[in-house]
Amino acid sequence: LIPDTIDLNDSECKAKCEWLGIIVTEYIRSLHYHFIPIEQYIFELLSWLLILCRQEQTLHQLLQYHIPYDSNRLAESLLRASRRYEPLWQVSVDMLYRLGDHAFVIVALLARKKLFEALRLLMRFPKLLHDDNNSNTNHDFPSTADEEACIHPVSLFVVATKICKVDDLDWNMRIFTALQSFFVSIRPSLVRPRSYCDEDGNAHFDCSPLAKAYKSNYIHGEEQFPHYLFGSKAGYVLRSFGFEIETETN
């Protein structure tokens, strides 16, 4: 029944998809009326058809009545559809949380630059924080997340730099103070500058593992720390992590 090629600009194809959505809806209603268990893939098919036909509001109403069962595949499709219909974002995050996919919830929060909410959830599930800072890894946000150690610490700093405000130094201080408290509580070894001795026995301090990972991956481009952090209180906090922040030069 599903067309081989789907083109919503084609009125006939769009009408057929809408007709299929009505059929699936009535089929679910009949199964529910006769107390017949409904397979999850049927809900996923209905959600796919509604999103395809740009009837996200109808899908949102069904979700508010908890008609579709929770599933990771459904939550992922809702998350993608939230780019066009904003209310589905919170619905998808709530569904992922109920399913226990906390890693994916954190990824979704970071993608929306909700740093403080992500830190609070990471405090509850510290094992999700990746601890290998010695390899050059792509720290872009994945489309899916594994339950074990998938959130790289560098990603937190990337989000922090993106939510800084040039005209609000107190806000910037709050951001990096929250990061400092988080890492000191969860993984102090990541932000502690390492000491070593040279051949003459003189003690030296190297940047922290986290600062070294950030520098190796984001030494160029927009991921650098904004210039307005130089000389501010937030800059002192960053130095406590072992980041080498030079004074801005003309």
Residue 30 scores a pLDDT above 80: yes
Is residue 20 within 8 A of residue 50, CB to CB? The reply is no
Amino acid at 232: S
Burial of 146 by CB count in 10 Å (0-12 exposed, 13-18 middle, 19+ buried)? exposed
Q: Using the predicted structure, report yes or no on whether residue 241 has a pLDDT greater than 80.
A: no
Query: What is the helix (H) or strand (E) element at residue 169, kind and residue range?
Result: helix 169-186
The confidence score (pLDDT) of residue 105 equals 94
DSSP secondary structure, 49-69, as one string: HHHHTT-HHHHHHHHHTT-SP
> What residue spans of 53-127 are helical by DSSP H?
56-64, 72-81, 87-99, 102-111, 115-124
Q: 148 versus 77: which is more confidently predicted?
A: 77
Residue 217 pLDDT: 65
- The model's pTM is 0.77
Comparison of pLDDT for 180 and 8, the residue scoring more? 180
Tens of pLDDT, residues 37-62: 989 999 999 999 999 888 999 999 98
Helix (H, G, I), strand (E, B) or coil at 45: helix
- In the block, which residue shows the tokens 């769009």? 14
Confidence of residue 108 (pLDDT cuts 50, 70, 90): very high
How far apart, in Å, are the Cα atoms of 243 and each of 7, 115, 147? 51, 20, 29
Percent of the chain with pLDDT over 70: 73
Cβ atoms 40, 10 nearer than 8 A: no
Indicate the average pLDDT of the chain: 79
Report pLDDT for 143.
Answer: 40
- Provide the pLDDT for residue 150: 77
